[in-house]
Each structure stands twice: as C-alpha cells, then as structure tokens.
Amino acid sequence: MGMVACFTSLSSEALLELQEEPDRIEAYLSPDDGESEPPNYLDLDKAWHGIHYLLTGLADGGTQPQSLAVIGGQEFGPEVGYGPARFLTPQQVRSVATSLSGISEEALSQRFNPKDMEAKQIYPDAIWVRDGQEALDYALENYRQLQVFYQDAAARGDVVIQWLS
C-alpha cells in the first residue's frame, strides 16, 4: 500500500478535546476501525512528498508557509501510522491557503526536476524519472485537491491535522 498523507480539518475546540484525551486521536482519524473517514478529509495518496518537493525544492523542511502544507505543524498525541499526527493553527491554515492560491500549476511544473527528486529520495522515488510527465500530472492533480482543502479549512477557521498512514 505504501505511505499516504492524510488530512482533516476541525475546530480549535475539537482539537483541544483530542489533545486532552490523546487515546481518542486514532479513533477520530480512523473512525469505524478505519472503515470510514473523519469529516473534512483529504488523502493525497503517494503524491504528498512530490508536492512538498515542488513547493519547497527539498525533501524536508523549507520556507514557511509552503513547508507547512504537507508535512508541517506541531506533533501531538501517539503514533498514528508513520509517527504522530501534526496540527496547524487556524492562522497557519490561512497562511498556507493564501500561499497555495498564489502558486500555479505552471510554477510547480517549472520546478519539476525528476533527477533531483530521485537523488533526494522523494517518495515514491521510483516514479519521477521513470514516469516523467505522468508523475508530474499525478502530483498536480493532488495539488489541486490540496489547494481546495486548505481554502475550505481557512474559510471555516479550522485547524488542520496531517498524518502519514
């Protein structure tokens, strides 16, 4: 199956409740024993690391707010998949939403460097050189969904929880 990046947005109050009762986090993120999705859910599939690279030029970290969009924020709670979940505050969510709305697919396409992505082991590292334009299209399709997700979360004033599953 591989590593997929998952996102949900919720109110600050709901996040506080989860922080106060960390044993509820996994059930919230994977309702019905993983058979359902939490509210306001997005799954970037395996495109997450490629999107992070296209936004930052790096495998890890980078300039904010772009570096917060996929694998940013503050860790909290127990391990859920590949490490603990992370959260972004409503202010960070607005900042990410504004930033993403200003970054076009054309701009990301110009940053696409399959050999550099392979060298930096951008997950899934086998596809960038092998699949070229098809791999870029896959990342851009998921990027569009990420833009909409952050715009909607910012409009509600929500926090965002990110986790790798």
Q: CA 18, 41, 3, 104 torsion: positive or negative?
A: negative
Q: What's the chain's length in residues?
A: 165
Residue 45 has a pLDDT of 96
* Domain boundaries, given as residue ranges, for the chain: 5-164
Q: What is the number of other CB atoms lying within 10 angstroms of the CB of residue 46?
A: 18
DSSP 66-103: TTHHHH-SEEEEEE-SSSEEEEE-HHHHHHHHHHHHT-
Residue-by-residue pLDDT tens, the chain, 165 positions: 689 999 999 999 999 999 999 999 999 999 998 889 999 999 999 999 999 999 999 999 999 999 999 999 999 999 998 999 999 999 999 999 999 999 999 999 999 999 999 999 999 999 999 999 999 999 999 999 999 999 999 999 999 999 999
* Closest C-alpha among 109, 113, 114, 112 to residue 129: 114
How far apart are the C-alpha atoms of 22 and 17, rounded to whole Å? 8
pLDDT score, position 90: 98
Please give the CATH topology (third level) of the domain spanning 5-164.
Hypothetical protein yfbM fold (3.40.1760)
Global pTM reads 0.96
**pLDDT at residue 1, as a whole number:** 62
